[in-house]
Structure 1
């Protein structure tokens, strides 16, 4: 994470895995190049997503691309944006963002003349009020933790806000590039109330698109704004739908039902890359594995069982059986293909003899040998769960498998109810926003720690990661984290995972930002 001061951008540059961020296609076939210009205005695009968002209010969003990130950003835009090609944060709705010397105070100036869809002018006071909504205890999503890094906000003039943080945070621009940086028109929110606003936030955003239709479980339709502050918006109609399964989604792209598809299954991604399709991938460390609930009421509160599960799960066996060898198999926290962050630390080894020994010790201490494994009912997750069940039973576990629930239901059981022993899950750590992602899940004091995980050594490492200012510092810290996780595991990792925004050659100008989220403000349809 290299730093520089700039009057027109954040001071933080993060290294992120971005191979293919400049959109490329399989077999050497180039996709449409350039960006939106007035002569390219026109056309429509349909994108396939992983999950229909449960509302369109940035407050209350999970923040991930597959569950509404791209859709909500198209309506509201973000104060800052992460450019995966330059690997820098850049102003978007903001004009400048500048820190003090110790990165505890940041001053942001907004672009002049930015307006909401209803015509209201965007002001610094709106920014303050919008972020306060994220900070409210009523917000149970991860954006609250991001927003609470801000201790106070002072409106200096109609276009300037000063953020005083709760401590040094060189990567603070990340916060304003997430849901926290999607400013909502407070007058519309107040008039409608949050529940109705989430269903119909028309006129309340400054993004390139306005909502036309929100039919949960069916489709989301948006139309381009004629007066977007960022210039012409070429694609006139955006439609988002969810098709079950990666293979079905890829088939819909092939037939032209979809123009863009977010894929998160290695075999389908491998197929797409052999074809004439554009590719905008994001690599997630700790992307797929068996997450263990460490809460005191669970069998896996016993660290011996957590170590047994890690030793029992063979990443190569899962890769061969489930992914046909196409996954990035690893037990490590950081995959070796992660530039700027990989420290050379390998993960724990597959060791079924050690696993059996630890299982027997736990049984002799009074545990009955039974453990519950939760997975959603997508075909690939079912196969993962079956593979993991076999590996665990091979070392003496009795596994009760629950794999008949939808992804949304599993999300609820893990994130809200925390009602599980084990779950096939991906914590999903990218370089961009690394501290924020890890801290909310692994800090013992975090309300978003769904895993009941608590280790003072991890808390200390996370505190150091927040203030790191160089790649070398980050590498040293994540190496320490690997040692902690070997001794006190929270996930039996079996793969780093890619998501890929695959698209047809008729769509150009797509921009990839944080967490697989796409920006459509510069996109266009070629050859109309």
Structure 2
């Protein structure tokens, strides 16, 4: 069994310059899993470093079904995993260090003044419908996501954009309402995938449904979606860049964890996604597969409805936070994978402050705080978790047990995923478990969405947390152009968000994926998506079961 090392990464401070560059450099990507690794024999070494093999149909068993193929539709990871193969953004981020790159549809870009950014497009790029990419498509894409009638969940990413103008066929100018340093990293987000203007018009006319189809410029194009079963994309033979090695990619939708692992063992899939921590030994025990374990940008959390009693009282929120032992959670539920979370972002994210004074685990102090808040006898509450998540179920049970020690009686309710998102967006919960993926690797995305009062509900603030000081600091930090000042503002914000405890920051989990040894150059990105640009399947080990 081959083994992959964890990718190296930089601290937030070292990443700082990546998000303020006015122009980008093109750094080559290094896959540590494929370079510098010891191998079992010379034959395997030759296979891993030889010429990529063309063809093959890659099967990936995923836990959650995508919600929408529309970049302006649902802002969820399962959808992004599929969409990112078909749609491309103006700029991209290096998965190792999050440097911004011009590997996307923009040949170059520059910031011409505090509020203006100009992007030069590659010429000769065609959409899957055969039409050439022009600046008009870029304008149409961003006008659509910002259209209030569209009501896109991703609109908050681009709300600072005041005007988008096509200067000529291949030049686009963005003007922001205020200086916004992280704009390029927002334009690398999955929701910034460029859609054909013609496809947008056809979607509006009812001639096309972008929710279940796709018209992008990516290396793969939409083929078929069998709801509840699978989604398939096929190689784009007219791709403007380097063509993919694979003929197609099929996402098999398999909610049961053991079934995904069984499919990997029986050569019924090449990749088993989202391996639960308690099941990693089963993947590591397979002869012809590898457990790929990579750090992520994903924070798991337990949120309160801060608009409702008793969670409108910071003392109650602090008490509950101090009654939950994150280290026990990581070791007991996550089997030692990931890291305990003590704030809303980790060291992968620009703006991270490693000097936070967290509340800590102190059940005695928690009881005292409850008494001070008038709940010396405790109270009853309900904790929601979504279905088909063993980790969240185990987390809920552990929290239920720990909170009982301070007199809080917790009932656990399992809610279907779609209803879960809808109901937490409407504030119908008391407590719930969810996660947030800071995909831009910038603190603005990691905190503005979750904690600014403008983002109640679906955009991210499902805690319905409202704090005027936090709002002001978030607004100031996203408009600040000085790198050091931004870091200082985010450090101040993180401490407030720890002390005020609108949620319990539980763990920064790793991405765990089981990969067949017949697959080479499979890359797990920190934001949960996959990079399949160089992926190929070796003929020698490809079985008939795929």
* TM-score, with length taken from structure 2: 0.84
Inter-partner Cα distance in structure 1 for 2:32 and 2:209: 34
After superposition, residues 483-494 of structure 1 pair within 5 angstroms as 483-494=495-506
Inter-partner Cα distance in structure 1 for 2:475 and 2:339: 29
* Contact 2:274 2:513 (8 Å CA) reproduced: yes
1:424 corresponds, among 408, 428, 433, to: 433
Inter-partner Cα distance in structure 2 for 1:194 and 1:313: 52
Which SS does the other structure have where 1:78 is aligned?
A: coil
* Contact 2:351 2:443 (8 Å CA) reproduced: no
Q: Give the 3 Å change call, closer, same or farther, for CA 334–440 of structure 1 in structure 2.
A: closer
The offset of 1:153, in angstroms, is 0.6
CA deviations 1:292-332 (Å, max 9, x no partner) are 1212x343112121111101111123234323344423434
Aligned to 2:6: none
1:313 corresponds, among 321, 324, 332, to: 324
Which SS does the other structure have where 2:534 is aligned?
A: coil
The reply on whether 1:41 has 2:50 as its aligned counterpart is: no
The offset of 1:70, in angstroms, is 1.9
Inter-partner Cα distance in structure 2 for 1:269 and 1:500: 8
Task: Name stretches of at least 5 consecutive residues in structure 2 with no aligned partner.
Answer: 1-15, 541-546
Aligned to 2:384: 374
Query: Relative to structure 2, which stretch is displaced further, 474-483 or 308-317?
Result: 474-483
Q: Give the 3 Å change call, closer, same or farther, for CA 335–207 of structure 1 in structure 2.
A: closer
Task: Name stretches of at least 5 consecutive residues in structure 1 with no aligned partner.
Answer: none
The reply on whether 1:233 has 2:252 as its aligned counterpart is: no
Inter-partner Cα distance in structure 2 for 1:380 and 1:49: 16
Aligned to 1:129: 140
* Contact 1:330 1:494 (8 Å CA) reproduced: yes
Aligned to 1:322: 333
1:480 corresponds, among 480, 492, 500, to: 492
CA deviations 1:467-508 (Å, max 9, x no partner) are 566875565444323320232112212222122444223222
What is the number of residues matched between the two proteins? 511
Inter-partner Cα distance in structure 2 for 1:141 and 1:49: 25
Q: Give the 3 Å change call, closer, same or farther, for CA 162–63 of structure 1 in structure 2.
A: farther
Inter-partner Cα distance in structure 2 for 1:264 and 1:169: 38
Inter-partner Cα distance in structure 2 for 1:491 and 1:308: 11
Q: Give the 3 Å change call, closer, same or farther, for CA 461–373 of structure 1 in structure 2.
A: same
* Contact 1:153 1:164 (8 Å CA) reproduced: yes
Q: Give the 3 Å change call, closer, same or farther, for CA 130–36 of structure 1 in structure 2.
A: farther
Aligned to 2:420: 410
* Contact 1:26 1:277 (8 Å CA) reproduced: no
After superposition, residues 92-103 of structure 1 pair within 5 angstroms as 92-102=104-114
The reply on whether 1:508 has 2:508 as its aligned counterpart is: no
Aligned to 2:199: 188
Inter-partner Cα distance in structure 1 for 2:530 and 2:50: 14
Query: Relative to structure 2, which stretch is displaced further, 273-282 or 428-437?
Result: 273-282
* Contact 1:8 1:95 (8 Å CA) reproduced: no
The offset of 1:346, in angstroms, is 4.5
Q: Give the 3 Å change call, closer, same or farther, for CA 131–430 of structure 1 in structure 2.
A: closer
The reply on whether 1:355 has 2:348 as its aligned counterpart is: no
Q: Give the 3 Å change call, closer, same or farther, for CA 336–71 of structure 1 in structure 2.
A: closer
The reply on whether 1:59 has 2:72 as its aligned counterpart is: yes
Aligned to 1:466: 478
Q: Give the 3 Å change call, closer, same or farther, for CA 269–472 of structure 1 in structure 2.
A: farther
2:272 corresponds, among 251, 258, 261, to: 261
Aligned to 2:534: 522
Aligned to 1:446: 455
Aligned to 1:215: 226
The offset of 1:140, in angstroms, is 3.9
Pick 1 or 2: higher relative contact order, CA cutoff 8 A, min separation 6. 1
* TM-score, with length taken from structure 1: 0.86
* Contact 1:146 1:175 (8 Å CA) reproduced: yes
Q: CA RMSD in A?
A: 3.3
The offset of 1:94, in angstroms, is 1.5
2:410 corresponds, among 367, 389, 399, to: 399
The offset of 1:151, in angstroms, is 0.9
Which SS does the other structure have where 1:210 is aligned?
A: strand
Which SS does the other structure have where 1:174 is aligned?
A: helix
Aligned to 2:89: 78
Q: Give the 3 Å change call, closer, same or farther, for CA 434–26 of structure 1 in structure 2.
A: farther
Q: Give the 3 Å change call, closer, same or farther, for CA 469–7 of structure 1 in structure 2.
A: closer
* Contact 2:297 2:441 (8 Å CA) reproduced: no
* Contact 2:384 2:413 (8 Å CA) reproduced: yes
The offset of 1:399, in angstroms, is 1.7
* Contact 2:351 2:491 (8 Å CA) reproduced: no
1:174 corresponds, among 177, 185, 191, to: 185
The offset of 1:172, in angstroms, is 1.2
Aligned to 1:150: 161
CA deviations 1:117-146 (Å, max 9, x no partner) are 121111101110111111122344441011
Inter-partner Cα distance in structure 2 for 1:6 and 1:394: 53
Which SS does the other structure have where 1:451 is aligned?
A: coil
* Contact 1:113 1:121 (8 Å CA) reproduced: yes
